[in-house]
């Protein structure tokens, strides 16, 4: 027991150090890259944006950016939510960020939980019925779906269900200017959420399904499943209490690897459905070349992503008491 | 392992489909400029006109021939994916073999570094750099590769560690073979299948990233790209142009990503030594 603790503590620390370093790299990049821009910082940052600055604003900005605060002070400012001022939206960057964040969390959170759940359960069930027509059909369909990117699904769903059939709204997260009671408002939000959510689920679910199925197929062959069968346990109990618990692990570990696809997809889907989350904010910032806004959204959302993966690493250690860590 | 895998691969239906699609896209990439009937930057045609015999897919809002645009866009996307995938593969193999072969402190340091790179959300770095400096696509492809190598190097390292202990490698060492000789004569050919798996997976990621970045408008607007064609076409959805302007780039992008996905999945299934016995034929 003591031996195993000695064994796993440095690993855990190693992960935390890796994530801390990654966070530092992101903060340092967002601190140093804008300073590498050629010429006057304020001119290069704002000349190509779609706003004209008054001379007063310009000196103010120059004061803000020209004094090199040093990396430490920059990080401190970041922690105080002092992220600069967006001149395209005429608002503090932090206010814009926090008004967009809930929508992204709602969309991504729901999409993840649902696709994880559906993918896992269907993967387990299909693996149990090995070599049936159901398994072959499902695996083929999911392999094909895995090859369809969010851009394509999103645009097809938008054109079909929002523009031709007009079943769902084509943009936004709520009906603008509508005075609604609490419950109708919830329904309205769900109604607007449907298409982007479906796009994301169609994008995430095949990967989860294939992973769950593959690891379940391997788990089923283990001798302890045979033992459980020999004891005469009911099928469902073997499937979920014995086998699926171990098949769940790769789903959590591979999350980090799929992450690059996940964030990119979320940005694209929000843009397609003009969903007012961070992706659309970032897109508008790019279009207006509002560099302070781009810089902060990129930095803060990457820090949040890092925190989420670190949490998952910890959860992984909880659901897998064996703490086998292979490289 | 090295000689027999070709036969095993073509027995997998996904690989066959992926392979022929890959040949198709390779042909389009190589001969695209020769096949395109017009210069894709020529803006002299009637804007937003439906398909005719001259313009197979019609003309876009800027007066450019859509079919020629599509051919150049496929070429750009494929080249971006290949360059990024190749560089990531090179870095991953080099670092993986060095770490696995030398072991000790070098191994620990290299693996910790790859943990750090694995954690950084690469799309965010790309967006930041693309928005600030508007660099050439090649530069972005290289940066993407600079963040994609860790997964490859981890698998290569793991395989190097186990192959290092194999009898024939030991024998070669006993006979006085140098590290370099053993690595390039024995080790590298032996883990060759792993290169293919890593390469296909990274190409898939790179194509996906390129399309998304272009869709978000982070590339030079005059560079033809599937993502950018989609983002322009979707602005005119109300004009009933979806089947000749919006659909072709969407279909091509999906087919392209499907190609690399099929190849990646079937290569992993057939060649990955860890999955060998468990995932054989029944997945077809």
B1 band by pLDDT with thresholds 50, 70 and 90: very low
Asked if A147 and B257 come within 8 Å (Cβ–Cβ), the reply is yes
Nearest to B212 among A151, A155, A210 (CB): A151
Q: Which residue has the tokens 């250690």?
A: A317
Is there a domain that residue B251 lies in?
A: no
Q: What is the pLDDT at residue B229?
A: 85
Taking only the tens place, the pLDDT of each residue in A33-65 is 777 766 565 665 666 555 666 777 777 766 666
Does position B27 have pLDDT exceeding 80, yes or no? yes
Query: What DSSP element (H or E) covers A208?
Result: helix A182-220
Q: What is the pLDDT at residue B142?
A: 92
Is there a domain that residue B56 lies in?
A: yes
Q: Which residues of A touch B275 (CB under 8 A)?
A: 214
Q: Which CATH superfamily is domain A2-36+68-319 in?
A: MetI-like (1.10.3720.10)
Does position A126 have pLDDT exceeding 50, yes or no? yes
Does position B69 have pLDDT exceeding 60, yes or no? yes
Distance from CA of B175 to the nearest CA of A (A): 31
- Cβ burial of B261 (10 Å; 0-12, 13-18, 19+) is buried
Alpha-carbon gap, residue A268 to A266, rounded angstroms: 5
Q: What is the pLDDT at residue A10?
A: 57
Q: Is the dihedral of CA A4, A9, A11, A12 positive or negative?
A: positive
CA within 13 Å, CB half, B6:
2
DSSP letter assigned to residue A69: -
Mean pLDDT is lowest, of A229-233, B188-192, B279-283, for B279-283
Nearest to A18 among B115, B131, B278 (CB): B115
With contact defined as beta carbons under 8 Å apart, do A291 and A34 qualify?
yes
Does position A303 have pLDDT exceeding 70, yes or no? yes
Alpha-carbon gap, residue A297 to A288, rounded angstroms: 14
- With b meaning 16 or more CB within 10 Å and e meaning fewer, what string describes A263-301? bbbbbbbbbbbbbbbbbbbbbbbbebbbbbbbbbbbbbb
With contact defined as beta carbons under 8 Å apart, do A124 and A247 qualify?
yes
Is there a domain that residue B153 lies in?
A: yes
Alpha-carbon gap, residue B148 to A222, rounded angstroms: 34
CA within 13 Å, CB half, A181:
2
Q: What is the pLDDT at residue B91?
A: 92
**Other C-beta atoms lying within 10 Å of the C-beta of residue A51:** 14
Mutate one of A19, A147, A285 to test the B interface: name it (highest B CB count within 10 A). A147
Q: What is the pLDDT at residue B237?
A: 72
Is there a domain that residue B236 lies in?
A: yes
Q: What angle do CA A316, B124, A262 make, to 5 degrees?
A: 45
Does position B84 have pLDDT exceeding 90, yes or no? yes
Q: What is the pLDDT at residue A12?
A: 66
Q: What is the mean pLDDT of chain B?
A: 81
Alpha-carbon gap, residue A105 to A113, rounded angstroms: 12
Asked if B215 and A151 come within 8 Å (Cβ–Cβ), the reply is yes
Q: What is the mean pLDDT of chain A?
A: 77
Nearest residue to B265 (alpha-carbon basis) of B15, B17, B6: B15
Asked if A272 and B205 come within 8 Å (Cβ–Cβ), the reply is no
- Provide the residue range defining the domain that includes B29: 5-245+257-283
CA distances (Å), origin A51, targets A48, A194, B131, B219: 8, 36, 17, 22
Alpha-carbon gap, residue A259 to A254, rounded angstroms: 9
Q: What is the pLDDT at residue A7?
A: 47
Q: What is the pLDDT at residue A64?
A: 65
Mean pLDDT of the region B86-110:
88
Taking only the tens place, the pLDDT of each residue in B219-278 is 877 788 888 888 888 877 777 777 777 888 888 888 988 888 888 888 877 776 555 544
Q: What is the pLDDT at residue A40?
A: 61
Taking only the tens place, the pLDDT of each residue in B165-214 is 888 888 888 888 888 888 888 888 888 878 888 888 888 889 888 888 88
Q: What is the pLDDT at residue A49?
A: 57
* CATH code for the domain in which residue B166 is found: 1.10.3720
Distance from CA of B117 to the nearest CA of A (A): 7
Q: Is A291 on the interface with B (CB under 8 A)?
A: yes
Of all residues in chain A, what percent carry a pLDDT higher than 70? 80
pTM of the model: 0.82
Taking only the tens place, the pLDDT of each residue in A167-226 is 777 777 676 666 677 777 777 777 788 888 888 888 888 888 888 888 888 888 888 888
Nearest to B116 among A21, A259, A305 (CB): A21
DSSP state string for B192-226: HHHHHHHHHHHHHHHHHHHHHHHHTT-S-TTS--H
ipTM: 0.77
Q: What is the pLDDT at residue A2?
A: 40
Nearest residue to B244 (alpha-carbon basis) of B7, B69, B39, B17: B69
Domains in chain A: boundaries: 2-36+68-319
Q: What is the pLDDT at residue B191?
A: 81
Nearest chain A Cα to B232, which residue?
Answer: A272
Q: Is A225 on the interface with B (CB under 8 A)?
A: no
Asked if B124 and A302 come within 8 Å (Cβ–Cβ), the reply is yes
Distance from CA of B33 to the nearest CA of A (A): 25
Asked if A298 and B128 come within 8 Å (Cβ–Cβ), the reply is yes
Q: Is B239 on the interface with A (CB under 8 A)?
A: no
Is there a domain that residue B252 lies in?
A: no
Say how many domains are in chain B.
1
């Amino acid at each position: 027991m003591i031996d195993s603790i000695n064994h796993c503590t440095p690993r855990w620390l190693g992960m935390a150090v890796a994530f801390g370093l990654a966070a530092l790299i992101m903060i340092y990049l967002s601190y140093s890259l804008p300073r590498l821009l050629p010429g006057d910082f304020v001119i290069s940052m704002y000349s190509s944006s779609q706003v004209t600055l008054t001379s007063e604003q310009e000196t103010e900005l120059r004061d803000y950016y020209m004094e090199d605060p040093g990396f430490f002070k920059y990080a401190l400012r970041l922690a105080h939510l002092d992220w600069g001022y967006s001149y395209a939206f005429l608002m503090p960057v932090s206010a814009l960020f926090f008004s967009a964040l809930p929508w992204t969390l709602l969309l991504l959170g729901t999409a993840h939980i649902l696709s994880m759940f559906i993918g896992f359960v269907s993967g387990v069930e299909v693996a149990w019925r090995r070599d049936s027509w159901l398994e072959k059909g499902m695996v083929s369909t999911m392999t094909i779906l895995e090859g369809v990117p969010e851009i394509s699904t999103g645009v097809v769903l938008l054109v079909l269900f929002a523009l031709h059939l007009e079943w769902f709204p084509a943009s936004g997260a709520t009906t603008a200017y509508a005075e609604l009671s609490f419950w109708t408002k919830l329904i309205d939000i769900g109604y607007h959420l449907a298409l982007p959510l479906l796009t994301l689920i169609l994008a995430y679910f095949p990967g989860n399904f294939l992973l769950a199925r593959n690891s379940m197929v391997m788990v089923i062959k283990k001798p302890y499943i045979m033992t459980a069968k020999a004891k005469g346990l009911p099928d469902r109990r073997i499937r979920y209490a014995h086998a699926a618990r171990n098949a769940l692990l790769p789903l959590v570990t591979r999350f980090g690897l799929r992450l690059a696809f996940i964030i990119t997809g979320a940005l694209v889907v929000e843009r397609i459905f003009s969903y007012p989350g961070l992706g659309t904010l970032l897109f508008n910032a790019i279009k207006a070349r509002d560099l302070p806004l781009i810089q902060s959204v990129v930095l803060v959302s990457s820090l949040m992503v890092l925190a989420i993966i670190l949490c998952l690493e910890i959860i992984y250690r909880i659901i897998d008491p064996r703490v086998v860590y292979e490289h | 392992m090295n000689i027999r895998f070709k036969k095993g691969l073509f027995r997998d239906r996904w690989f066959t489909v992926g392979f022929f699609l890959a040949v198709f896209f390779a042909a389009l990439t190589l001969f695209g400029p020769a096949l395109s009937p017009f210069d894709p930057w020529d803006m002299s045609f009637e804007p937003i006109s439906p398909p005719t015999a001259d313009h197979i897919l019609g003309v876009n809002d800027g007066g450019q021939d859509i079919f020629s645009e599509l051919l150049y866009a496929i070429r750009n996307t494929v080249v971006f994916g290949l360059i990024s995938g190749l560089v990531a593969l090179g870095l991953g193999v080099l670092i993986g073999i060095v770490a696995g072969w030398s072991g000790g402190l070098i191994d620990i340091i290299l693996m910790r570094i790859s943990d750090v790179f694995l954690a950084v959300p690469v799309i965010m770095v790309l967006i930041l750099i693309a928005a600030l400096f508007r660099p050439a696509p090649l530069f972005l492809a290289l940066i993407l590769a600079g963040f994609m190598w860790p997964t490859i190097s981890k698998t290569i390292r793991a395989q190097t560690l186990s192959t290092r202990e194999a009898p024939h490698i030991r024998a070669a060492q006993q006979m006085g073979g140098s590290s370099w000789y053993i690595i390039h004569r024995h080790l590298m050919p032996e883990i060759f299948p792993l290169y293919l798996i890593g390469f296909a997976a990274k190409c898939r990621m790179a194509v996906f990233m390129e399309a998304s970045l272009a869709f978000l408008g982070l590339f030079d607007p005059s560079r033809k790209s599937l993502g950018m064609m989609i983002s322009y076409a979707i602005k005119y959805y109300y004009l009933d142009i979806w089947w000749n302007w919006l659909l072709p780039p969407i279909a091509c992008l999906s087919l392209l990503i499907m190609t690399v996905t099929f190849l990646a999945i079937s290569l992993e299934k057939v060649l990955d030594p860890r999955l060998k016995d468990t995932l054989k034929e029944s997945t077809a």
